[in-house]
């Protein structure tokens, strides 16, 4: 919560003055609602914070799907090569992030593949199983993103499920396999 005095914000944990009286930095935390009210301090809700993956700063949902770029007059904007400029939607951005994550997870064990190609040394089964699992999880996660009909569905997908006591149960999205060397 935030506080205001005479319409001006009061920072928590910062000393302030009302009239001739100086109040210590912890006064807002330690005072009662009535004590604040007696000084004319009002409590206001904090500005909402939106997840920037899905929402603009003002809380409006970002476009889910790719859109053709247009100028202020509604005319299509072309790239220097003449192709249509496209503004990526949330789904395309998230799927690209999944590809990057999978690539990063696979890169750690690429040396096994190179060694196999150069020296015909077998790749350990745990490594091939892991690498296959990463590729499968990435494909599944991309499909899960594609299947979301709206922003609320994406937010839910990237969340988790909790029991009635608030205890974590599971992630809603398919998870990448555990690294065999961790």
Same domain, 35 and 106: no
At a CB cut-off of 8 Å and minimum separation 6, what does 61 contact? 54, 55, 150, 151
Q: What pLDDT score does 133 carry?
A: 98
* Within a domain: 116: yes
- Please give the pLDDT value at position 28: 94
pLDDT profile of the chain (182 residues), mean per 10 = 89 92 94 94 87 94 96 96 96 98 98 97 97 98 98 96 94 97 88
Residue 48 confidence (pLDDT): 83
What is the distance between the alpha carbons of residues 49 and 116, in angstroms, rounded to a whole number?
Answer: 49
CB contact at 8 A, 179 and 105: yes
Number of domains in the chain: 2
Structural domain that includes position 39: 2-44
Do 17 and 25 touch, CB atoms closer than 8 A? no
């Amino acid at each position: 919560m935030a506080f205001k005095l005479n319409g001006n914000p009061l920072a928590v944990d910062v000393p302030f003055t009302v009239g001739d009286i100086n109040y210590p930095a912890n006064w807002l935390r330690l005072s009662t609602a009535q004590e604040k009210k007696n000084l004319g301090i009002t409590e206001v809700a904090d500005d909402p914070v939106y997840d920037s993956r899905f929402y603009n700063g003002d809380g409006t949902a970002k476009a889910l799907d790719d859109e053709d770029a247009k100028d202020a007059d509604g005319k299509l904007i072309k790239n220097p090569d003449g192709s249509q400029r496209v503004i990526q939607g949330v789904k395309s951005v998230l799927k690209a992030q999944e590809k990057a994550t999978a690539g990063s997870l696979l890169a750690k064990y690429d040396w096994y593949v190179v060694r196999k190609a150069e020296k015909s040394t077998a790749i350990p089964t745990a490594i091939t199983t892991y690498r296959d699992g990463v590729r499968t999880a990435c494909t599944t996660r991309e499909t899960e993103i594609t299947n979301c009909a709206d922003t609320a569905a994406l937010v839910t997908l990237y969340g988790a499920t909790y029991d009635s006591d608030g205890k974590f149960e599971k992630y809603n999205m398919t998870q990448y396999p555990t690294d065999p060397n961790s």
